[in-house]
Amino acid sequence: MLTLTGRLSERQRRTLTRSLSLVLLVLGVLGFSLFTIQPPPAGAPSLTIFAGYGYLFGALPVNALHSILRIALGAAGLVLAGNNVTARLYSRGIAVFYGAFAILGCIPIKSLFACSSPRGMS
């Protein structure tokens, strides 16, 4: 339960870190499953790393690098969730990492970091 200051208890923080890590780990493993990946639609952007490219459950674009990254981050989170300090650092790091990519995804630059162009740009 949240305290009066709005902070999580140590146990809640570790549980939240374990849960987030398990979600990342499962998504990473499912990214390699042929049963959950659908081929990209005709208008999908091309990628530099095409290995394993498809849409997880038809909604999340993934490739092999994406899946490996999710597995690595999930495994690291499970290891770091045992201690309150490392669980907090891991959660903050994940928030900054994915937050930065969310912001970069909103910037309409045709070739950001030599990656493919965002959807809708020619």
Q: What is the pLDDT of residues 52-100, one digit of tens each?
A: 778 888 777 888 888 899 999 999 999 999 888 899 899 899 999 989 9
3-state SS, residue 44:
coil
Q: What is the pTM of this model?
A: 0.75
- Chain centroid offset of residue 108 CA: 21
Mean model confidence pLDDT for the chain:
80
Say what the pLDDT of residue 33 is. Answer: 82
Say what the pLDDT of residue 79 is. Answer: 94
Q: Provide the sign of the torsion angle of the four alpha carbons 81, 22, 76, 6, taken in this order.
A: negative
Which tokens go with 102?
């969310």
Say what the pLDDT of residue 5 is. Answer: 55
Which tokens go with 24?
């990342």
Say what the pLDDT of residue 121 is. Answer: 46
Q: Are 36 and 104 in contact (CB under 8 A)?
A: no
Q: Are 50 and 1 in contact (CB under 8 A)?
A: no
